[in-house]
Amino acid sequence: MGLGEECALHNGSSKRKSGIFWKPAGDHRLFTRYDGNPILKAKDWPYPANSVFNPAAVLVNGETLLMVRVEDHRGFSHLTVARSRNGYDDWKIDKHPTFPADPENYPEEEYGIEDARITYIEDEKQWYIAYTSFSSSGPLPSLARTRDFKDFKRLGAVLPPENKDAALFPVRFNGKWALIHRPVAGGLTKANMWISFSSDMKQWGDHQVLLYAREGGWWDANKIGLSPQPLRTEKGWLVMYHGVRRTTSKMSYKLGLALLDLEDPTRVLKRTDEWVFGPRELYERVGDVNEVVFPCGWIADGDEVRMYYGGADTCVALATASMKEILDYMERC
């Protein structure tokens, strides 16, 4: 049996429903969609919103916390927190924007803020939020920190535009913090994932390509970017990334995985050739931007991995996987 067939026939289970399902080989059966998807929609919001999507995700005192991107009816975005005891349903949403843009003090946020990734820094007992500021010159990564997701301290922009899809590692490497990000040079269609280092989280250097976009007919040719924050595992840093494939009629966002060395995150140990998750359900294929699955957060809770993602830039959905099965699959890549 080939790898694709093995993945297609793999038996899987979700927290709410188990059994044997057929799925396309490209979906690999690593991740199982939650039966209750989508878990959050604009109509659930306590104030007017056009769409809600691309959530960051972390565990805070045993509670699942999402920082959801909320787009208003101007087309500008901000971040709002939603909480759940079980991470599946019964979401409690902040009554007002939790983290709105502040263009008066941070002009790089003129057109809103988007797509947060959250990392807990144990040394400082704080959560660091990497997010995209939408400036008049284009998108760029910014940082903020918080202890309670109520009060936030902005660190400001950390890299120039055009750049996005940034997230911090939770530990230092040789005394320096590391940041994954995705710059795009003006006029070029090629976009790779980069990694940079800093001693103070303000001045970033030692920039280098971490993962190259492939070329030709690959699903991740020409343009890739980080999806959720890196997860530390016994085998290495687990990284999920998105690839953007364009055809004459459409573009499609799909997801792959890579494994980085624990001591040297610039060293890529493994990378999937095939995508492990892609648009299939109607809420992923039809929306403000069609054919998009876009996670900005995932949670490892024991062996269970819960991936929270935006569907078609319109709603929030959830898929689950086994960490053991993910790492076993990576070993075969």
224 forms beta bridges with: 243
Do the Cβ atoms of 65 and 81 come closer than 8 Å? yes
**pLDDT for position 5:** 31
pTM beyond 0.85: yes
Write down the architecture of domain 3-331 according to CATH.
5 Propeller (2.115)
The 10s digit of each residue's pLDDT in 101-145 is 999 999 999 999 999 999 999 999 999 999 999 999 999 999 999
Q: Which amino acid is it at 74?
A: R
Q: Which of 225, 257, 228 is nearest to 243 (CA)?
A: 225
310 forms beta bridges with: 294, 316
**pLDDT for position 167:** 98
Q: What is the mean pLDDT of the chain?
A: 91
- Cα-based torsion angle of the residue sequence 238, 239, 245, 250 in order, rounded to the nearest 10 degrees: 100
Helices and strands: H and E segment counts in the chain: 3, 23
**pLDDT for position 185:** 79
**pLDDT for position 188:** 65
The whole-angstrom separation of Cα 7 and Cα 26 is: 8
Structure tokens at 256: 């792959």
Domain extents for the chain? 3-331
- For the chain, which ranges sit under pLDDT 50? 1-27
Do the Cβ atoms of 29 and 325 come closer than 8 Å? no
**pLDDT for position 26:** 46
Q: How far is CA 16 from CA 12, 34, 39, 299, 305, in A?
A: 12, 7, 13, 17, 14
Strand-pair category, 177-183 with 18-19: unpaired
